[in-house]
Chain A
Amino acid sequence: MHREPHTLSRRAALRLAAAAGLAGVVTAHAGRHAFAAADRALDLAVERTRITIDGETTRAIAIGGSIPAPTLRWREGEEVVVRVTNRLDEPTSIHWHGLLLEGVMDGAPGFNGFAPIMPGETYTYRFVLRQAGTYWYHSHSAGQEQEGMYGAIVIEPAGRDPVRADRDHVVLLSDHTAEAPAAVLRKLRISEGYYNNGRRTLVDFFRDAERDGFSATLRDRLAWGKMRMDATDLADVTGYRFLVNGKGVRDHWTGLFRPGERVRLRIINGSAMSIFDVRIPGLAMTVVAADGQDVMPVRVDEFRIGVGETYDVIVLAREDRAYTVFAEPIDRSGYARATLAPREGMAGEIPEQRPRTVLTMADMGMDHGGMDHGDMDHGGSDHAAMGHGAHGAHGGSAGHADPAPARAVGWADAATPPGAKALAYDDLQSLTRTADLREPAHVIDLRLTGMMSRYVWTLNGRAFDDGEPIRVAYGDRVRIRFINTTMMAHPMHLHGMFMELENGRTGRLPRKHVVLVPPGRTLSVLVTANEPGEWPLHCHLLYHMASGMMARFVVEPRAARL
């Protein structure tokens, strides 16, 4: 199928903004009048700029004059006022990712009566900080987040911080492309293989399996992975540069410490499309918070971080040397790098890159019965382009015991070396007890679906434009089951309320604003619907959201039903 590229790109860019315009008329904005001074007031301009990454200068959008945007250091209990002025020639918005606040202040156009901030306009956000921890803020309009509109939020607790550190650094990961986001999406839509030649689909797998048998096909896939000819559906945009605090690999951002200090790293994945495996060779990390919420400390050597997630870790750097914070995207198409050092001008060793994993049957949804093959588009995949010559080449070594070099099998496998500990969701336990112990009043099944070959990503098979809102009554406790029927992981983000991840840690379920749902798996969360409004619930992969992987999660006042 073929459509006018121009139409597509325009639609893509305007999709969210258009939806926003409709909703914006309905509700008056509490935020649009003058205020008495709050505890903190801040002016942030959104404007076009240029950013130079390792010598290459490209167009970008800055909030507050820098990329990333300035780190906002606030204190729990304060009321903050942020005046955002749009100096672009397109609508914009700022969303406070992970913050509990009144709906209109959430800053997602088309939801809770928030209208996009039009060119030349100033919007005043005003809210009381009801929580502490590490969060972030970013544009919720078109592809602006990809262009540099992201920054960190650090909120000190009103009381004593259960974590004590001598030093505190934000480590904000992002992915950067010289291309305009609308162009990226256009290319993804026209050809699913644009960034991913040689990509195989589930349908291909079944065809091969029918012909060659399952085990031969699986071997084949392993071989493909080893030869790095298979993009394995881990990421669908490549060609990124990966940044830490806006710096590329060559310019590498440096965070200072004095040997012996206890250093808190607030690691935020502010990228558009990249899931990272993060480690600091030579240093163990103790995870003390996830998505801004304190967790029981857990000592790890590495962790995987989905788009939108945050982890706070403590490192005890005792030696007078430089360490490298190393973050590899799961498709291993590059890496982000930062340096922790006692002095400027030092550089840690760059570790060897890990192999890219190869997906398995489980990742393809074989472990649950709900697979709907109708979701897969048969027409679009070019089977012939897969190059089966490689299969024959592999035949020569088939049957030989492979001494298994560094290889990763299955989505969850980060090629963690033996003896090293990678954080698992099951390790996360809230430092404070689960407040709401009620059984969920009802269960909401949300199937993560997609037609991969047309780059249509959906929830329950429907794109945001034609999907029905999810409705829950104010005060209800509900369970949401994220059933991933696709071959990609989806970081699912709910605005306005924390999701308590059902990871077996009953009584201390970790509170998350993003849960990374692995391919072919189901994760469930509990939500107490105590924030009235209509909240976005979406995949935080930017282009998945833009292509429709979003729903409206409506918390309805009980009174409205009488």
Chain B
Amino acid sequence: MHPKSLLIATIALLMAGPGPAFAAGGHGHGQAHAHDTAAIGRPAAVSAARRTIRVEMHDNHFTPDTLRVKAGETIRFVVTNKGDFLHEFSLGTAAMHAEHQKTMAVMMEHGMLTPTGIDAERMKMDHSAMPGMDHGVGHDHANGVLVEPGKTADFAWTFDKTVDLEFACNVPGHYEAGMVGTVVIGR
């Protein structure tokens, strides 16, 4: 993996986790991370994937906008940002995305994210002050990646069971504008 992609993936670990722990302010609990993603599957080593799906990000939509996987299947996602703006590829239910959008909005307000990129310095500086954020590193719940314009990142995910799953970009405004697709989980 390219070093820059590693950084991106690390940041993804930090923040792509489901929102509640982070967004809950003073009520942050480390364990809040654990239960949310379990419902939608689990992260996997890229090497464990038998199949690769390539996804392109544009301003502001995905190509393709429907993904077909099988329950139990491990997929390597290779995600390329072909747009001018920062985008995210995140797996979750509509409710998870809604929560995560709040987190992303806060990060944008704090300058950790900008419309076109990730401010690694601010990310380091600020995250420890935010309840929930400091628990993020090292947890195994990378259900997405943030990818800067022109960059490519990959990650792997094992899909467990049939749920209403979406892949979405939760950079403020992008989900609303339609940067979301459906994951169809077959048997």
Name A residues whose Cβ lies closer than 8 Å to a Cβ of B.
Answer: 160, 162-165, 260, 262, 284, 286, 288, 296-299, 314, 316, 429, 431, 433
Contact = CB atoms under 8 A, between A and B. Distances in A.
B182 to A, nearest CB: 12
Contacts of A316: 176
Interface of B: 58-61, 65, 84-85, 94, 105, 115, 172-174, 176-178
Contacts of B115: 296, 429
B26 to A, nearest CB: 18
A259 to B, nearest CB: 12
Contacts, number: 48
Contact of A164 (B61, B85, B105): B61
Given A164-B178, A314-B178, A298 B61 contact: no
Q: Which 10 A-B residue pairs are closest in the complex by CB-CB distance?
A: A297-B173, A164-B178, A286-B176, A297-B177, A314-B176, A163-B177, A288-B177, A286-B173, A299-B173, A163-B178
A296 B85 contact: yes
Contacts of A284: 176
B61 A296 contact: no
Contacts of B94: 260
B176 A299 contact: yes
B176 A164 contact: no
A314 B61 CA distance: 15
Contacts of A163: 60, 177-178
Contact of A299 (B59, B65, B172, B178): B172
A260 B98 CA distance: 12
A162 B173 contact: no
A298 B173 CA distance: 6
21 contacts: A162-B58, A162-B60, A162-B61, A164-B178, A165-B178, A262-B176, A262-B178, A284-B176, A286-B176, A286-B177, A288-B173, A288-B176, A296-B85, A296-B173, A297-B174, A297-B176, A297-B177, A299-B172, A314-B176, A314-B177, A431-B59
A429 B59 CA distance: 13
A285 to B, nearest CB: 9
Given A431-B59, A433-B84, A162 B176 contact: no
Contacts of B58: 160, 162
A252 to B, nearest CB: 25
Contacts of A288: 173, 176-177
Contacts of A299: 105, 172-173, 176
Given A163-B177, A316-B176, 10 more contacts: A163-B60, A286-B173, A286-B177, A288-B176, A288-B177, A296-B85, A297-B176, A298-B173, A429-B115, A431-B60
Nearest to B179: A164
Question: Looking at B61, B115, B177, which has the most chain A CB atoms within 10 Å of its CB?
Answer: B177
Question: Looking at A260, A297, A299, which has the most chain B CB atoms within 10 Å of its CB?
Answer: A297
B143 to A, nearest CB: 21
Contacts of A297: 60, 172-174, 176-177
Nearest to B176: A286
Contacts of B61: 160, 162, 164
Given A286-B173, A314-B178, A162 B84 contact: no
A429 B176 CA distance: 17
B118 to A, nearest CB: 17
A496 B100 CA distance: 43
Nearest to B60: A162
A297 B87 CA distance: 13
Contacts of A260: 94
Nearest to B105: A299
A314 B179 CA distance: 12
A164 B61 CA distance: 8
A162 B59 contact: yes
A272 to B, nearest CB: 32
A286 B65 CA distance: 21
Question: Looking at A165, A284, A431, A433, which has the most chain B CB atoms within 10 Å of its CB?
Answer: A431
A288 B175 CA distance: 11
Contacts of A286: 173, 176-177
B31 to A, nearest CB: 28
Contacts of A314: 176-178
Contacts of A262: 176, 178
B20 to A, nearest CB: 18
A429 B114 CA distance: 14
B146 to A, nearest CB: 17
Contacts of B174: 297
Contacts of A160: 58, 61
Question: Looking at A164, A165, A316, which has the most chain B CB atoms within 10 Å of its CB?
Answer: A164
Contacts of B176: 262, 284, 286, 288, 297, 299, 314, 316
A267 B8 CA distance: 39
A163 B115 CA distance: 17
A433 B84 CA distance: 9
B113 to A, nearest CB: 13
Nearest to A315: B176
A286 B176 CA distance: 7
Contacts of A298: 172-173
Nearest to B115: A296
A532 to B, nearest CB: 32
Nearest to A260: B94
